[in-house]
Amino acid sequence: MFNNTTILPAIRDLKDIDKAIKMDSEYIVLLNTHVGQLKSLVKMIKSENKKVLLHADLVQGLKNDEFAAQFLAQDIRPDGLISTRRNVLMTAKKANLITIQRLFILDSLALQSSYQMLKTIQPDCVEILPGVIPHIIKEIYEETKIPIIAGGLIRSHEEVQSALDAGAIAITTSNRDLWKK
């Protein structure tokens, strides 16, 4: 899905965009953005032949609902949307965007409800947080056959490798030390 790219730079701080653009990754994940900045950020990133995965739930100034997703798909035009919300992802699917369901696996109940959500939404990919639980990465992939991205609390190259060995196809991280040149 990500052309053998295993590290997806996640931009939490706009000062990191220049470094992320120089990385080998074809994709850049935008976190914590403001609605007023989106159009120019996406345009700048795409002008560098990168694809943008936008975390719709973290856009300040937008409610994370289907109307916001329509606005993002039609006016901002990222290549994909990341969300915890069913209605956002279903709207993104209709717009032919890459859909990434973000799941917070806190306990067994959260895991079971996540399976139900994944069956309903059928996203292109699922992002599991925290990404430092390899046996859960493996279990979710075996249960759903949906490609897995691991994110959250990954702090070392060993943890990156552990998530990949468990079956994740990529890692999202805002830790610049883990981005590859």
- Give me the tens of pLDDT residue by residue for the chain, a chain 181 residues long: 898 899 999 999 999 999 999 999 999 999 999 999 999 999 999 999 999 999 999 999 999 999 999 999 999 999 999 999 999 999 999 999 999 999 999 999 999 999 999 999 999 999 999 999 999 999 999 999 999 999 999 999 999 999 999 999 999 999 999 997 4
- The pTM assigned to this predicted structure is 0.96
Is cis: bond before 78, omega within 30 of 0?
no
Q: Which domains does the chain have, with CATH numbers?
A: 7-170 (3.20.20.70)
Instruction: Report d(CA 150, CA 129) in Å as an integer.
Output: 6
